A = this chain, B = another copy of it.
Amino acid sequence: MLKKPTIVLNVKTYQEAIGKKALEIAKQMDQIAKQNSASLAIAVQPTDLRMIVEEVEIPVYAQHVDPIKPGSHTGWILPEAIKDTGAKGTLVNHSEHRLTLADIDECIRKAKAYGLETIVCTNNVQTSVAASELESDFVAIEPPELIGGDTSVTTANPEIVKDAVDAIRRVNSEVGILCGAGVKNGEDVAKAIELGTQGVLLASGVVKAKDKVRALNQLVRGLIE
């Protein structure tokens, strides 16, 4: 399972992360993970999963699965197909791809059935606690108003992270807790861990950085120091 604490990079469907460009980012993360014995993971588009899994050792995640089993579901994302690529897990219920409560539960069950780990994304303290009652491996709280912004949630709203950690821990001592939105550097990561999380989920902070290797190295310092 994804080793804690961890940094999970979601490359979304950014122009800078299609095909070979996503592979390049994954390779850079792979090298930095090894150099620092750090736990890093990358979530990529479904079209790139198989290619990237073959080339790196860090865990590769899908960005989404649909709550379906094999059958007549043209164009939807099958959990078993994600498993077949060699991916290690999947994001579930990202703020850009919300699912019904019943489907979040079903996606977690289906992922688990195939040995895929799950990171369920949530938007506030209460939905984070609700999600932590399901059997995902991680809950990642990301206040939507801060996503893609310049200020890290750990600076802009540390209370929401602290409150989510406290509320989740009252009902679930096992689930990994991540936070995200605006996370950009090592201080943000260190602060996230200080607030009780097991790491961060981020996207633009690396993918949109002029120097991605530098951005990744800065982030990792917050993880290992």
Binding site for B on A (CB under 8 A): 10, 12-15, 18-19, 43, 45-51, 62-64, 68, 70-78, 80-82, 84-85, 91, 93-105, 122-124, 126-127, 129-131, 133-135, 147-148, 171, 203-204
Q: How far is the CA of A84 from the CA of B13 in the complex (A)?
A: 12
Q: Given the complex, which residues of B lie within 8 Å of A97, measured CB to CB? A: 73-76
Q: Which of B15, B43, B73, B96 contacts A13 (CB 8 A)?
A: B73
Q: How far is the CA of A76 from the CA of B140 in the complex (A)?
A: 19
Q: Which of B72, B81, B99 contacts A18 (CB 8 A)?
A: B81
Q: How far is the CA of A151 from the CA of B2 in the complex (A)?
A: 44
**Residue from A15, A46, A94, A95 whose CB has the most chain B CB atoms within 10 Å:** A46
Q: Which of B10, B101, B171 contacts A131 (CB 8 A)?
A: B101
Q: Given the complex, which residues of B lie within 8 Å of A85, measured CB to CB? A: 19, 47
Q: Which of B48, B73, B102 contacts A81 (CB 8 A)?
A: B48
Flag if A105 contacts B124 (CB, 8 Å).
yes
Flag if B126 contacts A13 (CB, 8 Å).
no
Minimum Cβ distance to chain B for residue A18 (Å): 5
Flag if B10 contacts A70 (CB, 8 Å).
no
12 CB < 8 A contacts A-B: A18-B78, A19-B84, A48-B81, A63-B74, A72-B203, A75-B97, A100-B101, A101-B101, A101-B122, A105-B123, A129-B133, A130-B130
Which residue on chain B has the smallest CB distance to residue A170?
B171
